[in-house]
Amino acid sequence: MPSHRFTFSGPLTGRLRVPGDKSISHRSIMFGALAIGETRVTGLLEGEDVMATTAAMRAMGARIEKSGETWHIHGVGVGGLLQPDAPLDMGNSGTSTRLLMGLIASHGITAQFTGDASLSKRPMGRVITPLSQMGANFDASEGGTLPLTMHGALPAVPITYRLPVASAQVKSAVLLAGLNTPGITTVIEPVPTRDHSERMLRGFGAELKVEEVDGERVIRIHGDAELKPQDVVVPGDPSSAAFFIVAALITEGSDLVIENVGLNQTRAGLIEVLRAMGGQIEELDRREVGGEPVADLRVKHSALTGIDVDPEVAPSMIDEFPVLFVAAALAKGTTTTSGLDELRVKESDRLSAMADALTLAGARVEERGDGLVIHGSGGDPLPGTSGVPVTTHLDHRIAMAMAVAGNASRKGVEVDDTSPIQTSFPNFMHLLAKAAA
Ligand SMILES: O=C(O)C1=C[C@@H](OP(=O)(O)O)[C@@H](O)[C@H](O)C1
Ligand SMILES: C=C(OP(=O)(O)O)C(=O)O
């Protein structure tokens, strides 16, 4: 467990580029593995989570290799996944687990899923329910957690499923099961979540339609699909850029350009919220990369003011709350967040983990059932930790959020375990040290 003390080492300046989008990276490997022919992917995030997806797709028959900066994926075709001969180790990755369960649900194969201590606590019942309706069978504990074994159904049965939680992973699991199911599988999404599966499935040639009915998104996918190989360029991950956006906003003297950041509307909530708090975030050279809107972001140190965050924006910044809480801890006045029950079932309980960590670093935080209330310092650096390190609970976003807090503290913040950062942002510590040097 490598611990690390993150201390102020200077304002953030210059230019940097964050790694590829994690959601798009997972999907490019999965969809490439289901296409017939060679898919080429550049800008792939080479973090542990995406490598778990890669290993699983190899175990089910896809040939995946890297040469130079390009990943080459030779797919097996929809319906062509082979039975893996060992358990699929999902590591720390909820996205790998839930999306692959969807894929396997409509293949006549059996697979066992295992994961680390964090993933083994996370709820899988949310995908087991619709995938069982489609015909898949599960040997799982009553709580619906890993390890579990699933038996796919061939043929699976198309369903219409209305999402009971705002989750792109559940939506994607059902749509992916629908790829190899005869007929039309329908997902109704009352609250919009990230739409990378829809965009990319269409790009790979699936017949998928999205309609807005009474304010809800209705997504229909035709089964027995044939996917055609694509050249995918993965844009930079806005969820990774978030740490540098907040670090620059709260560190005096900062003026930083973050290049090539994906700005898909379903992911861009944090930028909106930070601007409403007074953050100076400028978009330069807005363009399209791989079918997604992208820009370079110029971020300057700003005096932030606390706000009430509208719970409606939550799905478009669901992974960014840990670092938003850090921005709020440095703002003037109070920031109130609510409607964030989903944060309790991520890699850690992110409400309690961030309340504990920020309190230990000297911030004033109240934990409520579905959100945090944070009384900001008015721009003064946080005191920082002494003695006891903050606990990351195997959660990369807690580790990186508290690293950013350390950079805006007097004594620094000691983080108990930096290894989870490898799941989504392997060069984070290097980039932070470089930008603040
Ligand atoms: O579909 C995806 O790629 C993701 C969806 C979100 O999870 P939920 O669907 O559980 O909200 C998000 O937290 C995760 O990091 C990636
Ligand atoms: C929730 C996250 O990922 P996953 O669900 O894939 O583990 C995340 O990256 O913040």
> Which pLDDT tens digit goes with each residue over 27-57?
999 999 999 999 999 999 999 999 999 999 9
| 4-20+236-435: CATH number | 3.65.10.10
In this prediction the ipTM stands at 0.99
d(CA 35, CA 22): 20
Pocket test for ligand 2, best of 347, 350, 393 (most atoms within 8 A of CB): 347
- Which is catalytic among the residues 21, 116, 195, 319? 319
Report the pLDDT value the prediction gives residue 322, as an integer from 0 to 100: 99
Q: Helix 94-105 crosses helix 125-133 at what angle (to 10 degrees)?
A: 10
Contact between 163 and 89 under an 8 Å Cβ cutoff? The reply is no
> In this structure, which amino acid lies at residue 285?
D
Contact between 286 and 260 under an 8 Å Cβ cutoff? The reply is no
**DSSP 8-class letter at 252:** T
The three-class DSSP label of residue 242 is helix
User: Is the distance from the beta carbon of residue 168 to the nearest atom of ligand 1 less than 6 Å?
Assistant: yes
Report the pLDDT value the prediction gives residue 307, as an integer from 0 to 100: 98
Ligand 2 atom at shortest distance from the alpha carbon of 95: 6
Report the pLDDT value the prediction gives residue 1, as an integer from 0 to 100: 87
d(CA 180, CA 182): 7
User: Is 0.95 topped by the overall pTM?
Assistant: yes
- Taking domain 22-75+90-139+158-222, whether its CATH number is 3.10.450.50 is answered by no
The reply to whether domains 4-20+236-435 and 22-75+90-139+158-222 share a CATH topology is yes
The token pair at 349 is 């309980």
d(CA 408, CA 12): 11
Give the DSSP H or E segment for 6.
Answer: strand 4-6
User: Is the distance from the beta carbon of residue 237 to the nearest atom of ligand 1 less than 6 Å?
Assistant: no
- Domains of the chain, by residue range, sit at 4-20+236-435, 22-75+90-139+158-222
Q: How far is CA 337 from CA 102, 148, 309, 310, 379, in A?
A: 32, 35, 5, 7, 20
d(CA 128, CA 124): 6
Per-residue pLDDT of the chain (437 residues; tens, 9 = 90+): 899 999 999 999 999 999 999 999 999 999 999 999 999 999 999 999 999 999 999 999 999 999 999 999 999 999 999 999 999 999 999 999 999 999 999 999 999 999 999 999 999 999 999 999 999 999 999 889 999 999 999 999 999 999 999 999 999 999 999 999 999 999 999 999 999 999 999 999 999 999 999 999 999 999 999 999 999 999 999 999 999 999 999 999 999 999 999 999 999 999 999 999 999 999 999 999 988 999 999 999 999 999 999 999 999 999 999 999 999 999 999 999 999 999 999 999 999 999 999 999 999 999 999 999 999 999 999 999 998 999 999 999 999 999 999 999 999 999 999 999 999 999 999 999 999 99
Residue the block writes with tokens 């309609």: 211
368 is in an annotated binding site: no
Report the pLDDT value the prediction gives residue 290, as an integer from 0 to 100: 86
Pocket test for ligand 2, best of 95, 324, 394 (most atoms within 8 A of CB): 95
**Residues whose CB is less than 8 angstroms from the CB of residue 342 and which lie 6 or more positions away in sequence, other chains included:** 165, 166, 167, 314, 318
d(CA 122, CA 146): 8
Q: How far is the CA of 120 from the centre of ligand 2 (A)?
A: 13
Paired residues of 160 in beta bridges:
186
Is 341 considered catalytic here?
no
